[in-house]
């Protein structure tokens, strides 16, 4: 065998090992045919067909958007709810690398991956929703609307996406076997984490600040000068709770991809993150009350929008913060996980309220969303889950790579 043949042989085995999990092509595709994958495939095909209609007949053909209510589920879910739920990398990165809480280290890679994919798919939702998605780079390179809060959001989401990709690069390098690149990527962890904190505090709150421009349109119970702070605080809670929930799901469905160190650490981490969430949620509750008092809108609480607000305030904010304290004290991991789910639903509910239900509340007649919009959303989320699974099945996310096991705290030397 000559040198050249050896090289191609190596690269082929690299592909088979890394991409096809060491199986032959036939075996690999045979393994792909599972009920879950078939269901996911159907959902994705339907969604892609509808996205095809959107790009041939226009947004009006698949959404309920109108001249009065220009934004629907794509932005309400994909951007306004998707970005706070993707604060996972930001909160865990800060806890582990900046505050030095080493006990959370086993879940930090998973948190960064979930954050990275969350932002990536927020951009994908944006591409579906923008009138002219091919102009997405315009605010970066062509024309600068510097007085716009959305300009800040666009820049920060783009930069933070890059930042999180670099934060995840060590795992990619371990998978690919690129040692020197991995070392270089690890060396900038602290810088990236601090950069990520700057970007996250600013754009998480900026998503709320976008609505400051519409005082007459957003219902007074949600419109408040405190909305940037409310968005940031609830994003921290959402990030923490997403890590709790993702840890549970990984225990259920991806156990074979995790190492023992990861699995045995989860209960303790879950309890710790639950306690942290209780502090964040009680702060969130307090700021929400201050905002309510500041606006002096107590009289609006007994209206139909008031009931929505009260559900948010008591069922999705105060109740979970108490449940977290109770579960943390009595060591009930299952209750922490349930409460995390409750909190996540609450944050999604809040973002949909602000961007959809309580916006334009004075209009007499409104359509919130079209069933086709919902199917597209379902398809994109399904793709997101499949991409996540593809990565976790290959890269060391829920485990340490055997070759680099002892140097995982390399950033501290």
Counting contacts by CB under 8 A, is residue 148 touching another protein?
A: yes
C-alpha distances in Å from residue 372, one per residue of 40, 154, 247: 17, 27, 32
Please identify, among the stretches 96-104, 169-177, 308-316, 383-391, the one whose residues bind another protein according to the rule CB under 8 A. 96-104
- 3 state SS of 222: coil
Q: Which of 128, 348, 356, 359 is close enough to bind another protein by CB under 8 A?
A: 359
Which CB atom, from 235 or from 333, has the smaller least distance to another protein?
235
Do 281 and 317 meet the contact criterion of CB atoms below 8 Å apart?
yes
Counting contacts by CB under 8 A, is residue 407 touching another protein?
A: no
Counting contacts by CB under 8 A, is residue 243 touching another protein?
A: no
Counting contacts by CB under 8 A, is residue 299 touching another protein?
A: no
The end-to-end CA distance of the chain, in Å, is: 44
Q: Which of 2, 25, 99, 302 is close enough to bind another protein by CB under 8 A?
A: 99
Min dist. Cβ of residue 79 to another protein (A): 10
Q: State the CB neighbour count (10 A cutoff) for residue 175.
A: 17
Please identify, among the stretches 8-16, 34-42, 149-157, 263-271, the one whose residues bind another protein according to the rule CB under 8 A. 149-157
Which of positions 33-92 make contact with another protein (CB under 8 A)? 54-61, 63, 65-68, 70-71
Do 105 and 144 meet the contact criterion of CB atoms below 8 Å apart?
no
Counting contacts by CB under 8 A, is residue 145 touching another protein?
A: yes
Min dist. Cβ of residue 197 to another protein (A): 5
Rounded to an integer, what distance in angstroms lies between the CA atom of residue 26 and that of residue 217? 57
Q: Which of 181, 194, 318, 341 is close enough to bind another protein by CB under 8 A?
A: 194
b vs e for 314-332, b when ≥16 Cβ sit within 10 Å of the residue's Cβ? eebbbbbbebbbebbeeeb
- Write the CB contacts of 187 (distance below 8 Å, at least 6 apart in sequence): 411
DSSP 20: S
- Write the CB contacts of 94 (distance below 8 Å, at least 6 apart in sequence): 193, 196, 197
Which CB atom, from 39 or from 52, has the smaller least distance to another protein?
52
**Tokens 């969430």, located at residue:** 277
Min dist. Cβ of residue 94 to another protein (A): 7
Counting contacts by CB under 8 A, is residue 198 touching another protein?
A: yes
Rounded to an integer, what distance in angstroms lies between the CA atom of residue 149 and that of residue 203? 9
DSSP characters over 132-156 = SGGGTTHHHHT---TT-HHHHHHHH
Contacts with another protein by CB under 8 A: the residue count is 70
Counting contacts by CB under 8 A, is residue 412 touching another protein?
A: yes
Q: Which of 14, 36, 144, 322 is close enough to bind another protein by CB under 8 A?
A: 144
Counting contacts by CB under 8 A, is residue 20 touching another protein?
A: no
Interface contacts to another protein, rule CB under 8 A: 54-61, 63, 65-68, 70-71, 94, 97-100, 129-133, 135-136, 138-139, 142-156, 159, 188, 190-191, 193-195, 197-199, 201-202, 205-206, 209-210, 212-217, 225, 228, 359, 412
């Amino acid at each position: 065998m000559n040198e050249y043949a050896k090289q191609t042989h190596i690269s082929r085995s690299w592909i088979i090992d890394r991409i096809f999990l060491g199986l032959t092509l036939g075996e690999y595709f045979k393994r792909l045919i599972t009920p879950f994958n078939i269901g996911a495939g159907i959902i994705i095909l339907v969604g892609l067909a509808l996205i095809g209609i959107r790009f041939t007949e226009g947004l009006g053909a698949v959404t309920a958007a109108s001249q009065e209510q220009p934004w629907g589920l794509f932005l309400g879910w994909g951007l306004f709810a998707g970005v706070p739920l993707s604060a996972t990398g930001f909160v865990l990165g800060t806890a582990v690398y900046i505050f030095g809480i080493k006990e959370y280290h086993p879940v930090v890679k998973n948190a960064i991956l979930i954050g990275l994919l969350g932002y990536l798919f927020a951009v994908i939702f944006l591409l579906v929703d923008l009138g002219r998605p091919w102009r997405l780079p315009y605010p970066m390179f062509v024309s600068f609307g510097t007085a716009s809060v959305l300009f800040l959001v666009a820049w920060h989401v783009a930069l933070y996406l890059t930042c999180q990709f670099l934060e995840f690069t060590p795992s990619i390098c371990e998978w690919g076997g690129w040692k020197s690149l991995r070392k270089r990527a690890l060396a900038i962890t602290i810088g990236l984490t601090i950069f990520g904190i700057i970007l996250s505090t600013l754009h998480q709150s900026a998503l709320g600040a976008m609505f400051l421009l519409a005082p007459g349109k957003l219902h007074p119970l949600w419109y408040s000068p405190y909305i940037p702070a409310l968005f940031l605080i609830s994003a921290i809670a959402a990030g923490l709770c997403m890590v709790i929930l993702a840890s549970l799901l990984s225990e259920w469905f991806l156990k074979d991809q995790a190492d023992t160190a990861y699995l045995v650490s989860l209960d303790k981490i879950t309890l710790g993150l639950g306690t942290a969430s209780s502090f964040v949620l009680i702060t969130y509750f307090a700021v929400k009350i201050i905002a309510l008092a500041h606006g002096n809108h107590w009289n609006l609480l007994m209206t139909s929008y008031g009931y929505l607000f009260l559900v948010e305030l008591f069922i999705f904010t105060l109740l979970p913060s108490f449940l977290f304290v109770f579960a943390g004290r009595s060591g009930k991991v299952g209750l922490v996980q349930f409460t995390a789910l409750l909190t996540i639903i609450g944050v999604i509910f809040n973002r949909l309220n602000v961007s959809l239900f309580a916006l334009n509340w004075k209009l007499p007649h409104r359509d919130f969303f079209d069933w086709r919009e919902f199917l597209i959303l379902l398809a994109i989320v399904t793709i997101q889950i499949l991409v996540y699974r593809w990565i976790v099945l290959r890269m060391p996310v829920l485990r340490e790579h055997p070759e680099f096991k002892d140097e995982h705290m390399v950033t501290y030397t």
